Amino acid sequence: MIDWHAHIVSDPAIAHGKVCIRGTRLPVSVVLDSLAAGLSAEEIIRSYPSLSLKDVRTSVAYAAELARA
């Protein structure tokens, strides 16, 4: 299991406090919405070159933990 805590952040000064991938202004919801729409991790990374495969997987791990709560 990926520990998302080091990779997912919420800062009121960035993206109005939305949960984002650390080091970016990209909300996790954008990654998850893209996956839900059928895009592959590789397609998402091509659209957002600052992301890595680990960032996409971390976003899924974050969502999975929220679903378990």
Looking at residue 16, what is its pLDDT? 94
Q: pLDDT grade, residue 69 (50/70/90)?
A: confident
| 1 or 40, greater pLDDT | 40
Looking at residue 26, what is its pLDDT? 97
Please, what's the b/e burial string for 22-57 (b: 16 or more CB within 10 A of its CB; e: otherwise)? eeeebbbebbbebbeeebebeebbeebeebeeebbe
The torsion angles phi and psi of 20, rounded to 5 degrees, stand at: -125, 165
Place of tokens 């893209």: 34
- Residue ranges and CATH numbers for the domains of the chain are 4-68 (1.10.10.10)
**Residues 9-56: tens digit of each pLDDT:** 999 999 999 999 999 999 999 999 999 999 999 999 999 999 999 999
